Amino acid sequence: MSDALALAIADDARLAGVAAEAGEPRYRVTQIRQAAWRGGAAGFEAMTLLPAALRDHLGARLRFGVLTEVATRTADRGLTHKLLLRAADGQTVETVAMTYPARPPAHPRRTVCVSTQVGCAVGCAFCATGQLGLRRHLTAAEITDQVLIAGRAWHGAGLPPASHVVYMGMGEPLQNYQPTLDSVRALIRWGVAARRITISTSGIVPAIDRLATERLPLRLAISLHAVDDDLRTRLVPINARYPLADCLAAGVRYAAASGRRLSLEYVLIAGVNDRPQDALGLRRLAEQTGAHVNLIPMNRIPGSDLATPSPPQVRQFAAAVGGRASVRFSRGDQAAAACGQLRAELVPRPAQLARAARRLRLPVG
């Protein structure tokens, strides 16, 4: 069966059509979705609210899942789970499921960080995924299925399904534009509010402008990491094609079209982009764009000498950036599930690590 027949991305019309083939009414669509999304069903056979004949027919006409969970690592006292998932062709990706308990006035959240590619072509110097190179794009069904699998894990712990989804895992979402957008629309059908979906990008300007035309109130997060073109090109090579000013201008256009405030992601790397002038430059850019800044202390990756600033240095940098900034300590570091650490079972290529180090004029360990 093709991905077009995957349950993860099937719309209501398709599900109703499959049910009608078995002589069943349209309300079965709601029951199917409830069983898969909130009921923790791991297959059509587990949807016991449905007639047995319909369950058999669904299994013959649709693929229940396109990814298989092969391993799980847990961190943060059980609040973070890194899932290793395998596709039909044997390629593996990682997904992170994070639980955030209620802290009034904030409500509890269950956030899934999804991958959109096997590896990544962008090659950011501080990112384990970026040193893998791009193996292939994920399909819309493979992206969406990550959220359904995470939901089954939460169901086993007595928790509801995902409330938020962030496209911040392996890969550059906007280099895999149509499958990414199709997965967004599928997740909205499953019940994730568009305003609770965030797409992170290294700055693919034409794709940002295209996303603005979709008229979806998604949050856009631009991975900035530097306040001048020279350093940003060394950290995020795609900046040579889409310079900082163009990238930020596209972000401002997107914010105006979507009605959502722009976010800027800034990974703090000791001795590289954490200088006082960097903080002042970042403050100026945040003020000019009206953006919120997420400061992320770098997480160590194997084979790299890049380091994390000390906690006092992080606090000092955040204070200099000002009230538009907040420090986001990544979840899942103990399970290599934090920002920049995802790499599945793949191994970074030494030549790519060496090139990343040379761009920053750092030795390779």
Q: What are phi and psi of 133, to 5 degrees?
A: 80, 165
User: Which of these is catalytic: 24, 94, 142, 265?
Assistant: 94
Looking at the DSSP assignment, which residues form a beta bridge with residue 85?
69, 93
Q: Which two tokens stand for residue 65?
A: 């899942």
Type of residue numbered 301: I
Tell me the helices (H) and strands (E) count for the chain, helix number first.
11, 12
* Contact status, residue 285 vs residue 323, Cβ threshold 8 Å: no
Q: Quote the CA–CA distance of 274 and 295 in Å, as a whole number.
A: 10
- Quickly list DSSP for 94-158: EEEEEEE--BTTBPPEEEEE---EEEESS--TT-TGGGTEEEEEPPHHHHHHHHHHHHHHHHHTT
Give the strand pairing for 292-297 and 263-268.
parallel
The question of whether 247 is a catalytic residue gets the answer: no
**CA distances in angstroms from 264 to 31, 164, 199, 224, listed in the order given:** 40, 18, 12, 6
| Cα 47 to Cα 160: distance, rounded to the nearest angstrom | 17
Coil, strand, or helix at residue 219?
strand
Q: For residue 111, what are the CA distances in angstroms to 28, 262, 336, 353? A: 28, 19, 17, 30
Strand partners, 67: 87
Tell me the one-letter amino acid at 272: V
Mark whether 21 is an active-site residue.
Answer: no
Q: Tokens 């690592």 identify what position?
A: 73
From the candidates 120, 124, 339, 345, give the one annotated as an active-site residue: 339
State how far the Cα of 322 lies from the Cα of 282, in Å rounded to an integer.
9
The residues assigned a catalytic role are 94, 339
